[in-house]
Amino acid sequence: MNTNKMLPLLADMAIFVTVIEQGNFSKAAKKLGVTPSVVSRKISHLEDALGIKLLQRTTRQLSLTESGKVTFINCKEMVNAAEQAISASTSITSTVSGLLRISAPKSLSNEVLRPLFVEFLSLYPNIQLHLKVTDQVLDPIHDSIDFLIHINEQPIESLVNIQLGRVEQTLCASPEYLRNHTALLLPEDLKKHSCLCLGENANDNRWRFINKNQQVTVQVTGPYLVNHSEMRRDAIEQGLGIGALPDYMAIQSIKSGKLIPLLNDWSLQGNYKGEICLQFVQSKYMPNKNRIFIDFIKQKLLTTKVKKG
């Protein structure tokens, strides 16, 4: 496509990006100061010019086609490049502004990320953070997310991944519980104990442990199934039984003596353990606000590693 044909499409491409980021034509039109019908015509014009279908449209929602996903990434890079060109003549501090959309798991957000986000906003008051707290792994393109933070042994291959740390599961119990029950020396001893499971699926009561080349799976039982980490921590502290917590949630209770770590030579497998991944769509042109957020969160998490108690 020559330049004369391409130039009229640049505005349509920017409108296309706005539609995806806003989620529908009406919100995009409001942001752009035009009518929804104008936005719809622009998208149709872009589809006709490119010869591809960009969006699947229903009465309730829009979704990107496979071609639309690729086109969105390229159009987003174009918009980012334009933003950089506009702000190139000013200093870094004055250009750090705009919206950052981030998704992160519930307990990690509450226990670890919450104070960091507040500090980040105090340093960069012209940035607006939109945080989606969810244990679901969202799609950065479909869900309009700039940064996806999640705990996973296998990062999403199609996205850039920055490792921010690692989360392990810490098996622990209260001192009172341990005083009143038989000693726990090996994973098999858990059969004699009250164990607090997540209850998210049928296999949550099958705890798998690894110690070097040894693997052991133990089927446990207990009176309380709860997939809320804070509630499970409270129940363990109250002496209801033995339970597993992400190490960042267990560490303070261990330091204060409310909890005692168990089977430290064994690694408990399962969900909610793995690398803390910061992932985002590859882009040749990254806005300053994105770069500064990456540098900030890396510096904070990589220099403040939480270890098992």
The three-state DSSP-derived secondary structure of 51-66 is CCCCEEECCCCEEECH
| pLDDT higher than threshold 90 for residue 144 | no
pLDDT at 4: 67
Residue type, 136: Q
Residue scoring higher pLDDT (111 or 308): 111
Residue closest to 186 by CA, chosen among 212, 213, 206, 216: 216
The answer to whether the CB of 9 falls within 8 A of the CB of 52 is no
d(CA 92, CA 77): 20
- 212-264 confidence digits (pLDDT tens): 889 999 999 999 999 899 999 999 999 999 999 999 999 999 999 999 999 99
The answer to whether the CB of 100 falls within 8 A of the CB of 114 is no
- 55-77 confidence digits (pLDDT tens): 987 766 788 999 999 999 988 88
| pLDDT higher than threshold 80 for residue 203 | yes
Residue range 92-167+274-302 in CATH 2.70.210.12: no
| Structure token pair of residue 168 | 């392990």
Paired strand residues for 274:
167
| H-assigned helices in 65-140 | 66-87, 92-95, 106-108, 114-123
SS3 call for 180: coil
Is residue 305 very low, low, confident or very high in pLDDT (cuts 50, 70, 90)?
low
The average confidence (pLDDT) of the chain is: 88
pLDDT at 306: 44
pLDDT at 197: 93
pLDDT at 17: 92
The answer to whether the CB of 149 falls within 8 A of the CB of 113 is yes
Distance spanning both ends of the chain, measured CA to CA: 61
pLDDT at 93: 46
Tell me the average pLDDT across 77-104: 74
pLDDT at 91: 46
| pLDDT higher than threshold 90 for residue 8 | no
Share of the chain above pLDDT 90, in %: 59
- Distances in whole angstroms, Cα of residue 91 to Cα of each of 37, 44, 84, 120, 293: 39, 39, 12, 19, 17
| Structure token pair of residue 204 | 């949550």
pLDDT at 3: 63
* Residue 220 DSSP class: -
Tell me the average pLDDT across 265-274: 90
Q: Find tokens 């507040």 and name the residue.
A: 118
Tell me the average pLDDT across 142-150: 91
CATH 3.40.190.10: which residues of the chain? 92-167+274-302
- 38-60 confidence digits (pLDDT tens): 999 999 999 998 899 999 877 66
Tell me the average pLDDT across 114-122: 95
pLDDT at 140: 87
Residue range 169-268 in CATH 3.30.565.10: no
Paired strand residues for 166:
275
Segment among 134-138, 173-177, 193-197 with least mean pLDDT: 134-138
d(CA 256, CA 241): 18
pLDDT at 81: 80
Q: Which CATH entry fits the domain spanning 3-87: 1.10.3210.10, 1.10.10.10, 3.90.1150.10, 3.90.1300.10?
A: 1.10.10.10
User: Is the pTM here over 0.75, yes or no?
Assistant: no
Share of the chain above pLDDT 70, in %: 92
DSSP string of 26-60? HHHHHHHTS-HHHHHHHHHHHHHHHTS--EEE-SS
SS3 call for 175: helix
